[in-house]
Amino acid sequence: MALTDLFKSLQESPVGLAIRESGWMFPTIESIHVLAIVLVAGSIAMVDLRLLGVSSRNHAVTKLSTEVLPWVWTAFVFAAITGSLLFVSNASKYFINVPFRLKLLCMACAGLNMLIFNLVTSRSIQNWDSSTGTPTAAKVAGGLSLLFWILVIAFGRWIGFTI
């Protein structure tokens, strides 16, 4: 009950109203959101494909990650900010939307996957950083990451068709 009140106050707030009622704000924020997401997904894919041993094989994993991850995080911040603004504009509707919930769930799974990789699998990284072969755990991390982010994009697109 408190949650529905929160969503109502969010979407009736000046920001929520402005975005929802303006002809150009929602499309513009949404466009930035799409741009940010494609950069997140594409950048992460570079690291994932390296972990899977599919591409960039003569680049050390750590070096590739160091170069790519700042872009991932920067784009993610933009995606999160624009996503929050979009959410605020119609909070109640988005909250009960199934693809929206699945999208957030997949993002959480992607985050968990990344955490496990960084805390556990990466401990041995000195052994396989520069070799083309990667341990199974790294391959699994890369594959799952790709899967989760593909699903994030798919569910994100479905929101538009089900909202």
Partner 1 sequence: MSTLIQNIAWIIPTVQTVHILCVSIVMSSMAMIDLRMMGLGARSQSVPDMVTRFMPWVWTSLVILLLSGSILIIGEPARSLMNPAFILKMSMLICVIVVTLTLQGAIRKDVAFWEMSAPRRTAARLMALVSLLLLVAIVFAGRWIAYMESYTA
Residue 67 in contact with partner 1, rule: CB under 8 A: yes
Residue 45 in contact with partner 1, rule: CB under 8 A: yes
Say if residues 139 and 128 touch (Cβ distance below 8 Å): no
CA–CA separation, 69 and 67 (whole Å):
6
Out of 3, 6, 17, 38, point to the residue binding partner 1 (CB under 8 A): 38
Say if residues 101 and 152 touch (Cβ distance below 8 Å): no
- Distances in Å between the Cα of 3 and the Cα atoms of 77, 88, 91, 107 are 25, 13, 10, 22
Residue 62 in contact with partner 1, rule: CB under 8 A: no
Q: Minimal distance in Å, beta carbon 24 to partner 1?
A: 8
Binding site for partner 1 (CB under 8 A): 27, 30-31, 34-35, 37-39, 41-43, 45-46, 55-56, 59, 63, 67, 71, 150, 153-154, 157-158, 160-161
